[in-house]
């Protein structure tokens, strides 16, 4: 586990001497996607020459190429890094060559910081978190930490990080609250998340840290225990938000932003940030899923799920000795920076434009701080850490209280070459920053342990027995006004009785506290399990009721539809019984009409031709006409008249049939309108029925809750009656000694009783 350092004080680092080291800056190149290759994005812009040198060639059409053609700047740039990882690099190889050294420092008690930097859609989140089959840096760091802890995990949750570098002692009520908060996160994640969604942590993260674990475990020969606490927050629009806070029920409510405060020693911390104690890798995976669900993300032209905030995942490892004293606290932070971008490339506007402005502003201040750190090596200059919350939080690490490294992510696309060049220039400045790492032997690593009142409980590396004794016994003494009447007993018997009762009271108090903690824990677990089971049962019942009501509504709708159809059919039959004509007969009548029309036209043509022939014959030989020819003409005229009358009758019949068809069509339209009105009325009634069902369900829930509260009140009254009936000794007076002892057991918060026993012990002396 070697680390390349640049030491200017001596060739070998010795304890008690500050170590100088340039900031480690790594480069990772993302491979092309199929869409980028189809869009001709591969124009040879990025050329990896060696493991530490890369060359950037400006493509045609870029702003850099246009400037070089005008004689401003160059089209080819070379950059050097601590190590370069090409597109074929795996997640395991990246961890081995970048994070493993800082992981060893973290397990050894030092602070570490890793942040990913790059343009949008460069692979920063993939590098930090990864995918289920390719876990990133964060899952591997957590797995290595649990491998290092092994079976030396501190089971209690009564020692919690406080401020930036201190620890806080929690009382049983606060420990119970921590457990409830943790369980609430897991329950909400179980309800809201898809159970088939794969975790970012595979079941076994293998062997990339086994050598590291074996080395660290060989150095830990004592019986110390470890507690791991994690926090997950984001910086969005220069506001800090806790990602482990339960989401709000209403989207209109805004999230509560947190303040960045100073602990008095120049160290910045996030006030009221939620820290969660994790025991397994599975709990860490669920917390990360819960935080990612609350993280601010949006779609831009360059990335469908672009991170619009800087997310920081922080781990604190507490080393605890046999006396429950925190010997040291080490911190490991992984920061996934939001992507730097140009608004005209990502097509941002409105709220996205405001987000992009805040992102670029915070990254600009980060660049100013890194540039000032590099210039501060030669001349003293102002470093603007406090101009941004991101740089303010990591000021201590940049100033020597830990090791910081940067993983620069870039893509090879020609369309984003100008942004990539800006990122590379920023990285070149960061690589020349020299960190002066203060040796851990020069500063006290034992944190300050404080109680629930904020006062220190550990002094000079040892537990203050007087403070703990007062912490345990300050609530167990009697009030001055409840003094017992001991004037009838001798002095020595009174003193011995008081001492005996005091010792018994303390023993009973401790036993009752332990029993109360166990009972509360069992009740809490049982209640949580019961709540989860009842919630699942209620969900199933709601689904069953929904399906049954939906089936009933569908059946009712079908019944109404059949009834409406039957009613329409019966009405039509009743109204058109006399004039109803079947379709076949109507078609046959139409065919007959057409045939008669054709015959009439033929007869008319025949009549016109016969009349023309008769006229011509009459003019040619009028004298030669005979009576039989006149008889033939009159017969033809009679036939034509008869055919004309038949034609008129057929046309009147056709007009009657057409009017009948029109009346039937109007009737059908009226029936359709009636059916639509009935359907609309049915839908309205269905909606009213659903509203009434919901109201009845809410009323049933309220009644059920009232019944549960009534049962609980009855049980509490019964318990109180039993306690009052089973009292072993009846007091002689209204406020005797045993009554005071019982009141002290039931009310342990009374703080003015310490003086009462001492006064009670001195009372016989005064009377004698």
Task: Find the CATH number of the domain harbouring 333.
Answer: 3.40.850.10
Does residue 768 surpass a pLDDT of 50?
Answer: no
Q: Give the Å distances, CA to CA, from 702 to 31, 496, 694.
A: 59, 57, 13
Q: Cβ(406)–Cβ(369) under 8 Å?
A: no
Q: Give the Å distances, CA to CA, from 603 to 617, 618, 629.
A: 21, 22, 20
Tokens of 743: 């009141």
Q: What is the DSSP letter of 133?
A: S
> What is the phi/psi pair of residue 129, to 5°?
-105, -35
Contacts of residue 315, defined as CB under 8 A and 6 or more positions apart, other chains included, come to: 106, 141, 142, 145, 228, 229, 230, 331, 332, 333
In a domain, 393, yes or no: yes
Binding site, annotated residues: 118-125
Q: What is the DSSP letter of 333?
A: E
Does residue 249 surpass a pLDDT of 80?
Answer: no
124-164 pLDDT, tens digit per residue, is 889 998 888 889 999 999 999 999 888 888 888 888 888 87
Q: Cβ(236)–Cβ(319) under 8 Å?
A: no
Of residues 107, 725, 119, 760, the one with CA closest to residue 440: 107
Q: DSSP alpha helices (H): ranges in 193-275?
A: 210-219
Q: Are residues 218 and 326 in the same domain?
A: yes
What residues are paired with 29 via a beta bridge?
410
In a domain, 616, yes or no: no
Q: How does residue 229 score in pLDDT terms, banded at 50, 70 and 90?
A: very high
Mean pLDDT to the nearest integer, 5-22: 46
Contacts of residue 397, defined as CB under 8 A and 6 or more positions apart, other chains included, come to: 111, 113, 333, 403, 404
Q: Are residues 492 and 429 in the same domain?
A: no
Residue that wins the pLDDT comparison between 396 and 12? 396
Q: Looking at residue 508, what is its pLDDT?
A: 87
Q: Are residues 396 and 261 in the same domain?
A: yes
Contacts of residue 325, defined as CB under 8 A and 6 or more positions apart, other chains included, come to: 446, 449, 458, 461, 462, 463
Binding site, annotated residues for ATP: 118-125
In a domain, 681, yes or no: yes
Structural domain of 707: 488-609+643-768
In a domain, 619, yes or no: no
Q: What is the DSSP letter of 649?
A: H
Cα 551 from Cα 541, distance rounded (Å): 15
Mean of all residue pLDDT scores within the chain: 75
Q: Cβ(414)–Cβ(62) under 8 Å?
A: yes
Q: How does residue 61 score in pLDDT terms, banded at 50, 70 and 90?
A: confident
In a domain, 463, yes or no: no
Q: Are residues 498 and 561 in the same domain?
A: yes
440-478 pLDDT, tens digit per residue, is 543 444 455 655 555 555 544 444 555 545 544 444 333
Residue that wins the pLDDT comparison between 334 and 8? 334
Which one of 400, 424, 450 terminates a domain? 450
Q: What is the DSSP letter of 33?
A: P
How many Cβ atoms are within 10 Å of 509's Cβ, its own excluded? 17
Q: Are residues 69 and 216 in the same domain?
A: yes
Q: Looking at residue 63, what is its pLDDT?
A: 86
Q: Are residues 445 and 493 in the same domain?
A: no
- The H or E element containing residue 609 is helix 583-620
Q: Cβ(436)–Cβ(18) under 8 Å?
A: yes
In a domain, 461, yes or no: no
Of residues 29, 26, 27, 25, the one with CA closest to residue 88: 29
Does residue 483 surpass a pLDDT of 90?
Answer: no
738-759 pLDDT, tens digit per residue, is 566 666 655 544 444 444 444 4
Q: Are residues 501 and 405 in the same domain?
A: no
Q: Cβ(473)–Cβ(47) under 8 Å?
A: no
In a domain, 5, yes or no: no
Does residue 270 surpass a pLDDT of 80?
Answer: yes
Mean pLDDT to the nearest integer, 385-413: 86
For residue 611, the Cα-to-chain-centroid distance in whole angstroms is 100
Q: Are residues 720 and 584 in the same domain?
A: yes
Residues 372, 373, 376, CA angle at the centre, nearest 5°? 80
Most confident of 130-134, 310-314, 322-326: 310-314
Burial (Cβ within 10 Å: 0-12, 13-18, ≥19) of residue 519: exposed
Q: Are residues 40 and 111 in the same domain?
A: yes
Which one of 420, 450, 480 terminates a domain? 450
Q: Cβ(405)–Cβ(103) under 8 Å?
A: no
Q: Cβ(399)–Cβ(374) under 8 Å?
A: no
Q: Are residues 554 and 437 in the same domain?
A: no
If one counts the domains in the chain, the total is 2
In a domain, 294, yes or no: yes
Q: Are residues 95 and 180 in the same domain?
A: yes
Instruction: Give me the percent of the chain exceeding a pLDDT of 70.
Output: 71
Q: Are residues 424 and 531 in the same domain?
A: no
Which one of 428, 450, 472 terminates a domain? 450
């Amino acid at each position: 586990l070697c680390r390349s350092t640049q030491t200017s004080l001596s060739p070998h680092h010795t304890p008690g001497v500050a170590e100088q080291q340039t900031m480690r800056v790594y480069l990772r190149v993302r491979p092309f996607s199929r869409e980028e290759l189809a869009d001709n994005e591969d124009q040879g812009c990025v050329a990896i020459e060696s493991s530490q040198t890369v060359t950037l060639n400006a493509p045609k059409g870029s702003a850099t190429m246009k400037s070089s053609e005008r004689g401003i700047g160059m089209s080819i740039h070379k950059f050097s890094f601590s190590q370069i990882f090409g597109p074929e690099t795996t997640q395991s190889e990246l961890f081995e060559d970048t994070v493993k050294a800082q992981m060893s420092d973290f397990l050894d008690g030092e602070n570490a910081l890793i942040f990913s930097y790059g343009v949008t859609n460069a692979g920063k989140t993939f590098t930090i978190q990864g995918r289920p089959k390719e876990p990133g840096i964060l899952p591997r760091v957590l797995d290595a930490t649990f491998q290092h802890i092994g079976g030396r995990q501190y089971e209690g949750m009564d020692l919690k990080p406080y401020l930036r570098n201190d620890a806080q002692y929690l009382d049983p009520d606060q420990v119970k609250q921590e457990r409830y908060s943790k369980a609430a996160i897991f329950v909400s994640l179980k309800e809201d998340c898809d159970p088939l969604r794969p975790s970012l942590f595979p079941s076994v993260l293998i062997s990339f840290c086994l050598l590291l674990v074996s080395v660290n475990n060989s150095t830990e020969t004592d019986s110390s225990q470890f507690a791991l606490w994690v926090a997950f927050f984001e910086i969005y629009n220069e506001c800090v938000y806790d990602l482990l806070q339960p989401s709000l029920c209403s989207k209109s409510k805004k999230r509560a932003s947190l303040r960045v405060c100073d602990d008095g020693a120049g160290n910045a911390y996030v006030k009221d940030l939620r820290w969660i104690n994790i025991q397994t890798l599975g709990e860490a995976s669920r917390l990360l899923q819960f935080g990612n669900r609350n993280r601010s993300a949006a779609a831009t032209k360059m990335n469908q799920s672009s991170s619009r905030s800087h997310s920081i995942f922080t781990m604190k490892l507490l080393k605890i000795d046999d006396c429950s004293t925190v010997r040291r606290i080490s911190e490991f932070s992984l920061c996934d920076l939001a992507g730097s971008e140009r608004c005209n490339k990502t097509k941002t506007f409105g709220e996205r434009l405001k987000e992009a402005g805040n992102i670029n502003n915070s990254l600009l201040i980060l660049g100013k701080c890194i540039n000032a750190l590099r210039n501060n090596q030669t001349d003293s200059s102002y470093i603007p850490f406090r101009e941004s919350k991101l740089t303010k939080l990591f000021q201590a690490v940049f100033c020597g209280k830990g090791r910081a490294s940067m993983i620069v992510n870039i893509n090879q696309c020609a369309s984003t070459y100008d942004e990539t060049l800006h990122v590379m220039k920023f990285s070149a400045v960061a690589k020349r920053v020299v960190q002066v790492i203060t040796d851990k032997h020069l500063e006290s690593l034992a944190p300050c342990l404080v109680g629930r009142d904020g006062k220190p409980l550990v002094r000079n590396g040892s537990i203050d027995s007087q403070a703990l004794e007062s912490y345990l016994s300050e609530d167990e003494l009697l009030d001055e006004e409840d003094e017992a009447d001991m004037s009838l007993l001798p002095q020595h018997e009174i003193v011995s009785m008081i001492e005996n009762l005091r010792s018994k009271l303390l023993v009973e108090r401790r036993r009752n506290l332990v029993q109360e903690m166990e009972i509360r824990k069992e009740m809490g677990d049982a209640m949580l399990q019961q709540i989860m089971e009842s919630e699942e049962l209620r969900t199933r019942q709601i689904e069953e009721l929904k399906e049954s009501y939906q089936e009933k509504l569908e059946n009712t709708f079908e019944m109404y539809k059949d009834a409406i159809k039957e009613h329409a059919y019966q009405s039509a039959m009743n109204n058109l019984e006399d004039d109803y004509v079947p379709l076949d007969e109507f078609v046959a009548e139409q065919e007959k009409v057409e045939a008669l029309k054709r015959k009439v036209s033929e007869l008319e043509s025949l009549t016109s031709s016969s009349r023309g022939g008769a006229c011509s014959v009459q003019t040619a030989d009028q004298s030669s006409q005979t009576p039989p020819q006149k008889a033939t003409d009159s017969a033809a005229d009679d036939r034509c008249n008869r055919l004309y009358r038949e034609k008129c009758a057929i046309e009147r019949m056709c007009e009657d049939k057409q009017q009948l068809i029109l009346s039937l069509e109007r009737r059908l339209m009226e029936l359709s309108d009636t059916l639509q009105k009935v359907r609309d009325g049915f839908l309205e009634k269905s909606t009213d029925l659903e509203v009434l069902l919901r109201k009845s369900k809410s009323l049933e829930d309220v009644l059920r809750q009232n019944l549960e509260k009534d049962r609980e009140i009855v049980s509490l009254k019964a318990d109180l009656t039993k306690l009052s009936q089973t009292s072993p000794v009846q007091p002689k007076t209204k406020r005797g000694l045993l009554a005071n002892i019982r009141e002290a057991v039931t009310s342990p918060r009374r703080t003015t009783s310490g003086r009462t026993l001492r006064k009670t012990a001195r009372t016989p002396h005064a009377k004698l």
